[in-house]
Amino acid sequence: MATYTALTTLDSEAAAQALAAAMEALDPVPTGIGVMEIEDGLGRREVGGYFTERPNHAGLALLAVIHGARPFAVSKVDDRNWVAQVQRELTPVEAGRFVLYGSHDADRIGVNRVGLKIEAAMAFGTGHHGTTRGCLLLLERLLRRGEKARRAADIGCGTGVLAMAAAKVWRVPCVAVDIDPVASWTASENTRANRLHPWVRSGQGAGFRGGLVRAWAPYDLIFANILAAPLKRIAPDMARHLAPGGVAILSGLLRSQARGVEAVYAGHGLRCEDRVVLGEWVSLMLRKR
């Protein structure tokens, strides 16, 4: 069965959400509509629709004009199993002692390595992105210093890899939450695949609002691999949920955004003591004084 995608960009969240809502009136109706922030530091949003029939080009063009969007780019998607193809093409990712791998690479994990099986899925965080790897490298530095968290949390967990990494090396309670129900489900499945479900509790929630995160606070270590704007918004909650001397490992930051995020967290008593820079991406380690 042929499928199609229609993508455009806008300059604000409000305009993007309005366009996404208007797309529900198209004929044929998209089977899926999404709004995503473009990680370029400009605050732009991408709006996309997924169709199982050829979309109405005239209708899309009219919506783009009405909502001030760029013209939609419509593409036909090949009928193939994309997840299976990605699984074949992804290679293991190393970050210090950690190795993230798919089941097709299970026999390639060396001894004395901390292996985490992460399949390609509909959630962010297979480890191939510089932000996930940067967080793991900062965790590696904590381990080398002999530090140990008694409880850890992963805010915006994606596939749950960061919570699982902490659980595997320390065997302590870890919480993994994401606003996306697909991500929280994926994290739960991954913890079971890695036999870490006795230590990792996963669920759906926005930042620190959910009862699961609040119930297990305070934390000695909190990961938040999201984006600069939401990282700034959750800074007060981050400070409240960290134990004295606790560490926050933050990522999803471009180089141009790191100083601004540092400044916000400094205002809440968290000081930067380490960082990892991988290409254009920065991961920060902050400690609560």
- 252-284 pLDDT, tens per residue? 888 899 999 999 999 999 999 999 998 889 999
Q: What is the pTM assigned to this prediction?
A: 0.68
Q: What percent of the chain has pLDDT over 90?
A: 51
Domains and CATH numbers, the chain: 3-77 (3.30.70.260), 124-288 (3.40.50.150)
Distance between CA 135 and CA 132 in Å, rounded? 5
- Reading the block at residue 152, the tokens are 């850890």
Q: What is the mean pLDDT of the chain?
A: 86
26-45 confidence digits (pLDDT tens): 999 888 787 777 755 677 88
Note the pLDDT of residue 105: 60
Distance between CA 23 and CA 61 in Å, rounded? 11
Note the pLDDT of residue 82: 45
- 218 cis-preceded (ω within 30 degrees of 0): yes
Which of 40, 11, 37 lies closest to 254, judged by CA?
Answer: 40
pLDDT (average), residues 216-240:
94
Q: Is the pLDDT of residue 171 over 90?
A: yes
Note the pLDDT of residue 89: 46
Distance between CA 159 and CA 127 in Å, rounded? 9
Distance between CA 125 and CA 275 in Å, rounded? 19
pLDDT (average), residues 155-165:
92
Distance between CA 203 and CA 137 in Å, rounded? 25
